[in-house]
Amino acid sequence: MKPFLRKEIPAALSELPDATAYEAGYLVTKNAGWRNVRPVIELDKCTGCLQCYLHCPDGVIFKDKGKVAVDYDFCKGCGICKKICKYAAIRMEAEK
Amino acid sequence: MGKCFLSGNEAFAYGICLARPQVISAYPITPQTIVVEKLSELVEDGSLKAEFIHVESEHSALSCAIGASAVGARTFTATSSQGLLYMAECLTYASGGRFPIVMMNANRSTALPWNIYGDQRDSLSQLDCGWIQAYAENAQESLDLALMSYYVAEHREVSAPFMANLDGFVLTHTYEVVEVPAKEQADSFLPPFVTENKMDFGHPRNLAFSAGPEHNTAFKYKEHIGLLNAKKVIAEAEEKFARIFGRQYTGLIESYRTEDADYILITLGSIAGLVKEKVDKLRAEGKRVGLIRLRYIRPFPNEELAGALKNAKAIAVLEKDVSFGNEGTVFTNVNSALHKAGISIASSNYIGGLGGKNISEADIEKIFEELKEEKTTIQFLGLGGAEKWVYPQGL
């Protein structure tokens, strides 16, 4: 299962845990600030072979209602998924 | 067991045994080896029901303790000198993760020149890593500290790892008569370790995550507050300890004949025993001298020192440490406490006992003699003809 962020990032100290531990599935911060280019999946070309999922070093590729998707909160934009895709179903777009 | 003839290492091992840790991971290093050997014997003969894990390095010893603590086990490890430095990377993982691991450190010199004898440069170089740091004076205090360390570290408002320091050889290998409490007494002092900061199938958690610039300060602030909270929990632990065992400790500092003292020597660890004897002799000659022993240096006794030093004319800090290019680190900390309290008196630093060099009664006499000059100096003891820097010239 894809981890998800807390819906609201806590503003008050008292809302943050004392130890670096949340209940499973929650993360304290996004980590994608240095991405220059983002992978975009062209679903009409995608066969769902999941080679991109297997090769992604950050584990950000997942299936959303049966379709391959990217978690942009954690994708660093390395482009390995684009390189590995035999069906040219992933293109890299510049971040604006 | 009642009264036993034990070394500091053995006394600490019995204290740990009474605290009933569930996991012990350690790697041997002189002069810590005996505490680990003793505990492995106690596990083997069934006196202590714990998992004893032989690891391949100090880095692994603490990593293993962190893993065990992260599943809710009471854990113990021990090290010294280069071993402490080798596990340094893991020190902040333990403190940042708020894992209340207890570690005994046998204070020993750090290389180079390579040396196995005692000084305090190993632990004092790690003051900023988020661990509570205590320094024992004798074998009885070592045992008692081992028991109290878990009480303090595991307290919910503290949740910090605890480093108990014993002077290498002088304390770790010297035999003394030690009162070893009964198991039932120890059990009534120290409750079992209960924590929510653990991996748990029933309540899965995401441990040891990242926090970027936005939240990092908040986590570090909470860690800082945890260590400050240790002050009141140490007092609470000592009060309960005194009720059950009849031995009363004195919090972050021990003041010895300081009430009306003009000249006060501040030090830490086993050398305090010799200083007390010297203070008694000088008092018998009518000299108004006293001693403050720092029992804890993290959290640092700022207020306690300010209270104890407010009527002194001059103080000296005697420590087995130097922060090269500056002065002894304990001296820096003490001066900060004085400054914050608005106390403006001469303070001198004596750096001695490096690499196991003996600090003699004559050295202590010299310190008290020079204190009367009420000058701020920094000097090394044990160089033969001592080099002396008078502040600010030559600094």
pLDDT band at residue B119 under the 50/70/90 scheme = very high
Asked whether residue B234 falls in the same domain as residue B378, the answer is no
Any idea what the CATH number is for the domain that residue B364 is in? 3.40.50.920
Amino acid at B153: A
Cβ-Cβ contacts under 8 Å for B142 (sequence gap 6 or more): B8, B11, B12, B15, B136, B164, B166, B171
Give the pLDDT score at B45: 96
Residue B171 lies in a domain: yes
**Does A44 lie at the interface with B, CB-CB under 8 angstroms?**
no
Three-state SS at B310: coil
- Give CA torsion, residues A36, A37, A39, A40, to 10 deg: 120
Task: Examine the fold and report which residue of B211, B245, B279 is the final residue of a domain before the chain moves on.
Answer: B245
pLDDT tens digits, A29-77: 778 888 999 999 999 999 999 999 999 999 999 998 999 999 998 899 9
The pair of structure tokens assigned to B196 is 């929510």
Residue B52 lies in a domain: yes
Asked whether residue B187 falls in the same domain as residue B260, the answer is no
**Does A22 lie at the interface with B, CB-CB under 8 angstroms?**
yes
ipTM of the complex: 0.72
Any idea what the CATH number is for the domain that residue B25 is in? 3.40.50.970
Mean pLDDT over B255-261 rounds to: 97
Residue B31 lies in a domain: yes
Residue of A nearest to B70 (CA): A21
pLDDT more than 70, % of chain B = 97
Domain that holds residue B9: 2-245
Task: Examine the fold and report which residue of B245, B268, B290 is the final residue of a domain before the chain moves on.
Answer: B245
pLDDT tens digits, B318-368: 999 999 999 999 999 999 999 999 999 999 999 999 999 999 999 999 999
Asked whether residue B155 falls in the same domain as residue B279, the answer is no
How far from each other are the two terminal CA atoms of chain B, in whole angstroms? 54
Q: Per the structure, how many domains does chain B have?
A: 2
Residue B210: pLDDT above 90? no
Residue B392: pLDDT above 80? no
How close does chain B come to A7, measured CA to CA in Å? 15
The secondary structure of residue B355, as a DSSP letter, is G
Contacts 24+ apart (CB under 8 A), B333-336: B333/B297, B333/B300, B334/B266, B334/B305, B336/B302
Asked whether residue B69 falls in the same domain as residue B211, the answer is yes
Contacts of B211 in chain A (CB under 8 A): 20, 28-29
Find the CB nearest A13 among B206, B212, B218. Answer: B218
Asked whether residue B333 falls in the same domain as residue B287, the answer is yes
Contacts of A20 in chain B (CB under 8 A): 96-98, 207-209, 211, 219
Residue entry with tokens 């740091």: B133
B214 contacts A21? CB cut-off 8 A: no
Give the pLDDT score at B395: 45
**Does B100 lie at the interface with A, CB-CB under 8 angstroms?**
no
Residue B262 lies in a domain: yes
Asked whether residue B263 falls in the same domain as residue B368, the answer is yes
How close does chain B come to A78, measured CA to CA in Å? 20
Residue B395 lies in a domain: no
What is the distance of C-alpha B270 from the center of its chain?
11
pLDDT tens digits, B46-91: 999 999 999 999 999 999 999 999 999 999 999 999 999 999 999 9
Q: What sign has the CA pseudo-torsion B158, B161, B166, B172? A: positive
Asked whether residue B155 falls in the same domain as residue B280, the answer is no
Find the CB nearest B206 among A16, A24, A30. Answer: A24
Hey, which residues does B291 pair with through a beta bridge? B256, B265
In CATH, the architecture of A4-94 is 2-Layer Sandwich (3.30)
Residues in chain B: 395
